[in-house]
Structure 1
């Protein structure tokens, strides 16, 4: 795979004469985060630990779009429960043996490593709307000794988070910086906030084949036009032909999740028993107010040769 000629376009920002976004680094150590606020009030917060987006507010800052557990660890002690954790270089439990990721923990090391804030970019897009792009980097030298030993390959990750008035774009650039080829999986584990899961429908997956992890990882085809959540759901939809998956609540469109250079999406809700069993999931009934729609490349493996680059991501549009 070579450097992409057609990269995801930045959701850019204001003219020089207009007010610019305010960007601050808040806190210190493992709890430090980057907070960006547009002149119109929309905001995003990104924890440097894991480069995890923990808050995204639209509608002038009045509407929180991401679900974050009340018991989420925000001190660098463990992966964050909620927001948008970055999963790399393996999705779920790694292969038991014989694979370069076999020694890694579930979901890899990106969400449990401290990233570097590379800076902000602001400009003006064709709609003359405010936006700001925040870049974060993770490199081989930034890994813990444990992670480096488990995955001794040279790589570079740049994660771009672009806040616009009604959308959030998150794009990951993966580069092979070593002499050896490597393969990886990648996922953005997005927790979307909803008012009532019983009134939620997810559209854009009709006819797509999925692996149902609740039903012993059996393969099925999505036969209904929408996915309703009436119990535990853990499905991997692969090779989705269209680029948009939508979340509708009580008949009203709530989110459009638009994939770029990614064909897979995980739909997840723990429901009652699993939510209670997770020590960092709170409140227990929080499953009623969230649904995970997670874009990624998780069916099989992405392969990169020396110097090659993979780039993919999403744009989430808030429709209220």
Structure 2
């Protein structure tokens, strides 16, 4: 067990043999091993030198998800998915190092000068034998105005073959935006989702707060969340995946993105208010 700090990352080791590695760049989780297997996908073409966001693992999207909105101006000028995944975070402390789990806390630096908002953004990563928990903590440090943001954990779960998986536990009637169909608003039929064509959907207010992935080979994942209300499901398949510059050949066959977040609209915090969004991966 224990926590090891290097010049670029923090490594967690649990007595069960499970481990995790979190880069200071973006506070991106780039590895999670449980039962002797790597559970996160990172493209072999991913930039790990801080030159661009890491393709894979669990990047943090904040203070926006997706393309920037048309207003307000300080949000409109942001790059896709915001700036948190491109900042150098600080390893603040070890929260826990016990048989129950190993937990560490990171804090984000100040925002770019043009983003005139006062907030505190922290990230807690907790490792146990068969689980990985990632918690986003956001405090509005303004004294007299609200702070609006979006936040999402863009996780790439490793799987043997994306064409064999089944995604379930999204309640029938859950509204989603289908980006493949130009933003068409649709309701879930409650049936299992299979990856036989590109998928890019933002499910709104997922009442189950839990999504299951059957990997088709006797394993899979449970993705549970709280605080976060929405969940994006994404896999470009070969049709669009081959156009992603930092995606390895056939990389789209090796992952599914299940992404809890607050992505449908902006979350508003009153002065001094705190938001906590938690995601828990469990190996099945």
Structure 2 Cα separation of the partners of residues 210 and 148 of structure 1: 35
Q: Which residue of 1 aligns with 2:207?
A: 241
Alignment-derived partner of residue 185 in structure 2? 219
**3-state SS of 1:148 partner:** coil
Paired positions, count: 282
Q: What are the superposed Cα offsets for residues 140-176 of structure 1, whole Å, 9 maximum, x if unpaired?
A: 2xx4xxx221x11111111000000000000011011
Q: Does 1:161 align with 2:125?
A: yes
* C-alpha separation in 2, matches of 1:91 and 1:316: 21
Partner of 1:209: 175
Matched, 1:277 2:243: yes
Which of 87, 105, 109 does residue 135 from structure 1 map onto? 105
Q: Aligned-pair distance for 1:251?
A: 6.7
More displaced, 221-230 or 80-89?
221-230
Residue 262 of structure 1: CA displacement?
1.5
SS of the equivalent of 2:54 reads: coil
From 56, 64, 81, the equivalent of 1:82 is 56
Q: Aligned equivalents of 1:200 and 1:210: distance in 2? A: 20
Measure how far apart 1:214 and its partner are: 0.2
- Two-structure CA RMSD over aligned residues (Å): 1.4
- TM-score w.r.t. the length of structure 2 is 0.96
Moved over 4 A (4+): none
Please, what TM-score do these two structures have when normalized by structure 1? 0.85
Q: Secondary structure at the match of 2:272?
A: coil
SS at match of 1:198: helix
Give the match for residue 116 of structure 2. Answer: 152
2:136 matched to 1:175? Answer: no
Q: 1:38 aligned to 11, 14, 22, which one? A: 14
SS in 1 for 2:113: helix
Tell me the distance in 2 between the aligned counterparts of 1:277 and 1:265: 24
Query: What is the deviation of 1:100?
Result: 3.9
Gapped runs of 5+ residues in structure 2? none
Q: Assess if the C-alpha contact under 8 Å between 2:22 and 2:29 holds in 1.
A: yes
Residue of structure 2 aligned with 1:106, choices 61, 80, 83 = 80
1:255-294 equivalences under 5 Å are 255-282=221-248, 284-294=249-259
How far residue 273 of structure 1 moved from its aligned partner, in angstroms, is 3.1
CA distance in 2, matches of 1:25, 1:78: 22
Partners of 2:190 and 2:140 lie apart in 1 by 40
> SS where residue 172 of structure 1 aligns?
strand
Measured after TM superposition, the shift of residue 118 of structure 1 is 0.6
- Name the structure with the higher helix share: 1
